[in-house]
Amino acid sequence: MDYTHLGRSGLSVSRLCLGTMNFGPETSEPDSHKIMDSAHEYGINFFDTANRYGGRLGAGATEEIVGRWFAKGENRRERTVLATKLYGEMSDWPNDGKLSALNIRRALDASLKRLQTDYIDLYQFHHVDRDSPWDEIWQAMETAVAQGKILYAGSSNFAGWHIATAQAEARRRNFTGLVSEQSIYNLLTRDIELEVIPAAQGNGVGIIPWSPLQGGLLGGVLRKERDGKRRLEGRAAETLATHRDAIGQYEDFAEELGQEPGDVGLAWLLHQPAVTAPIIGPRTQDQLDSAVRALDVKLDASALARLDEIFPGKKTAPEHYAW
């Protein structure tokens, strides 16, 4: 396993981040525990969750599953760089969501209890809160750091100007601010190349891509469709219809390379200089094993250029749309 620093911090994290969103609603607790054990065996030390995860089992259920895994001991917690998130409403009662100082305090303590730990390595804002001022947000986070409850702060789904503003306000307070940003990023969805990536790079913020295979559309969906193993509906089916030709070219190119499409998609992200670690969200052990293979896929300049031809990217703004 290769490791890299999380943004400009001194924290070392694996080049793949284990996402836990499926743990509970899609993957049983025993199987979830096995996948986390296996991730450690592979050298994956970076785990991501959120207080809202749990699906049909209810918000918080996934953190509880991770917490019971930590409680098994054998240095599971000590070997894990633990990331969780807050923002979404945890009930219909006022102040039980978003980024007010009150909710940061309450949500953090609740996550710590569910996760059965006394600190969180990376505490992330799951979305930008347009109603809470940065002075309030950073004061609450500074207090949490001083209390030893969190070590680093991160964001998710922020625009470039949100990152720049957050960092400017943090510097004004002599606070570290953000060290990471989680954004949707993959060969099909490259919008963050316009402004989020430049803002992140300019502020020492590492990019943690979520949905690295666009919900499976970059994981060999056409072959699975032909084999009768997958049938898409709704938005995924619409996206496939729009990009069917490009996805077909992509799967053919992966075959030329002698690689699985999903491995190529993950490997492409690992070749992007702004990326710290894509989030993989396996439902099964086989899916984890498959994702780890991407670490061994090396794409040369011609392969990267071919992928850009199939899925054109974005230039940095404003050059993408102006001189």
- Which residues are known catalytic residues? 53
Q: Is 49 left (phi over 0), alpha (psi -120 to 50) or beta?
A: beta
CA 145 – CA 149 distance, rounded (Å) = 6
φ/ψ of 152, rounded to 5, equals -135, 155
As a residue count, the chain comes to: 323
DSSP-derived secondary structure for 43-69: T--EEE--TT--GGG-TTHHHHHHHHH
Give 210's strand partners: 184
Paired sense of beta strands 17-19 and 178-184, if any: unpaired
Task: Please enumerate in sequence order all residues whose Cβ is within 8 A of that of 128, keeping only pairs 6 or more positions apart, or say none.
Answer: 155, 157, 158, 159, 162
In the three-class reduction of DSSP (H, G, I as helix; E, B as strand; rest coil), residue 308 is classed as helix
| Contact between residue 166 and residue 127 where contact means Cβ atoms under 8 Å apart | no
11, 5 Cβ separation under 8 angstroms: yes
Amino acid (1-letter code) at residue 166: A
End-to-end CA distance of the chain: 42
Q: Which residue has the tokens 């780890």?
A: 292
184-221 burial code (b ≥16 CB/10 A, e <16) = bbbbbbbebbbbbbbbbeebbbbbbbbbbbbbbbbbbb
